[in-house]
Amino acid sequence: MLVVMETRATDEQIRAVCERMASRGLATHVVPGSLRTAIAVTGNSGAVDIGSLESMPGVQECIAVSKPYKLAGRDAYPESTVIHVPTALGEVTVGGGAVAIIAGPCAIESREQAFAIAEKVKAAGARLIRGGAYKPRTSPYSFQGMGEPGVEILREVREQFGLGIVTEAVDVESLDLVAGVADVIQIGARSMQNFSLLKRAGRTGKPILLKRGMSATLDEFLMAAEYIMAEGNHAVILCERGVRTFNDHTRNTLDLSAIPAIHRRSHLPIIVDPSHGTGRRRNVLPLARAAVAAGADGLLVEVHHAPEAALSDGRQAILPTEFAQLMAEARQIAAVIGHTLS
């Protein structure tokens, strides 16, 4: 950490900072500048709480240098993490050059709907299906998911089609139920900082698909992963799904630069959700292709056989034929950078 002193900071104030740091077992290096003095602090494992330091007289600001995450960072774990999800159709790999495709409806609406879509996405080559039994909705008056019967339908989809199940846990209460059927448990953007849920999800031992919060920085995103990993579960799949900006032409602004940026900071794989990331069906294919071209470790795509009748988010679901086209294009683009669809 770097403590920047005010221009008119006294020697006594500088000394006081050094003593405070020493009392915590940290080393200090005083660096006199032309205008002001800075104090480099070393020896801290992880980030120092800078709040109290900035309250000391003569201190202008504190600049963190070390990143606050340990398990999620590449510093300690330079090798990229590759996650293997076993399914009846074979193991699906996420990361390390393998681009995992997860497709399906936003919400499970009925057995008929789930089966119809499962058949289509399987036919197009997907081995992981997404679909929510529990849906976090902005309005209490919107469809909140089928709940337990939806979980049962997912179980049938799993048995009938052999597809691996990716489904969301929205609270601790329903987590066990969801964990019973899921091959990958999804934690949604609104829950990214629901720390109780993160810890409990970590303890299930299942791979966790963690979506980036609507206005989360990458550091906050990785710290949320850290909560899961601190429970001993290192199988975390990060998911970029668009962030909130001033833009009014899309629901969210898909931040594809997060892909190389995460790959640089962390060993965890990162996939992209172009459906929530754009909020419009017509933008899904272009942005899905872009994600693969940028090096994403996977895609999470909403597919619906009758989007105009969907109970939630029909606006952003693509048709099965569009999904088949996406698979073909994604496969070719992945090949350009030496990746393969998984």
Residues 275-294 that bind a copy of itself (CB under 8 A): 277-278, 280-283, 286-287, 289-294
- Asked if 87 touches a copy of itself (CB under 8 A), the answer is no
Contact pick of 11, 22, 24, 75 for a copy of itself (by CB under 8 A): 75
Q: Are the CB atoms for 175 and 200 separated by under 8 Å?
A: yes
Contact pick of 93, 167, 194, 204 for a copy of itself (by CB under 8 A): 194
Length of the chain in terms of residues written:
342
Long-range own/partner contacts, residues 158-161 (CB < 8 A, 24 or more apart): 158/88, 158/183, 160/115, 160/118, 161/115, 161/118, 161/119, 161/122, 161/129
Could you give the angle at the alpha carbon of 238 between the alpha carbons of 235 and 240, nearest 5°? 170
Give the Cα separation of 104 and 166 in Å (integer): 9
Q: How far is the CB of 86 from a copy of itself (least distance, A)?
A: 29
- The site string for a copy of itself over 42-61 (x = CB under 8 A, - otherwise) reads xxxxxx-xxxxxxxx-----
Question: Which residue, 50 or 89, has its beta carbon nearer to a copy of itself?
Answer: 50
> Tokens representing 191?
């829950």
Give the Cα separation of 31 and 26 in Å (integer): 16
> Tokens representing 204?
């299930």
Site for a copy of itself in 294-313 (CB under 8 A): 294-295, 307-313
- Asked if 270 touches a copy of itself (CB under 8 A), the answer is no
> Tokens representing 299?
């895609």
- Asked if 340 touches a copy of itself (CB under 8 A), the answer is no
Q: How far is the CB of 235 from a copy of itself (least distance, A)?
A: 17
Question: First CA to last CA across the chain, in angstroms?
Answer: 42
- Asked if 23 touches a copy of itself (CB under 8 A), the answer is no
> Tokens representing 153?
């339908």
* Residue that the structure tokens 């990060």 belong to: 238
- Asked if 204 touches a copy of itself (CB under 8 A), the answer is no
Site for a copy of itself in 110-169 (CB under 8 A): 136-142
Site for a copy of itself in 214-233 (CB under 8 A): 214-215, 217-218, 220, 223, 226-227, 230
Q: How far is the CB of 110 from a copy of itself (least distance, A)?
A: 15
- Asked if 79 touches a copy of itself (CB under 8 A), the answer is no
DSSP 336: H
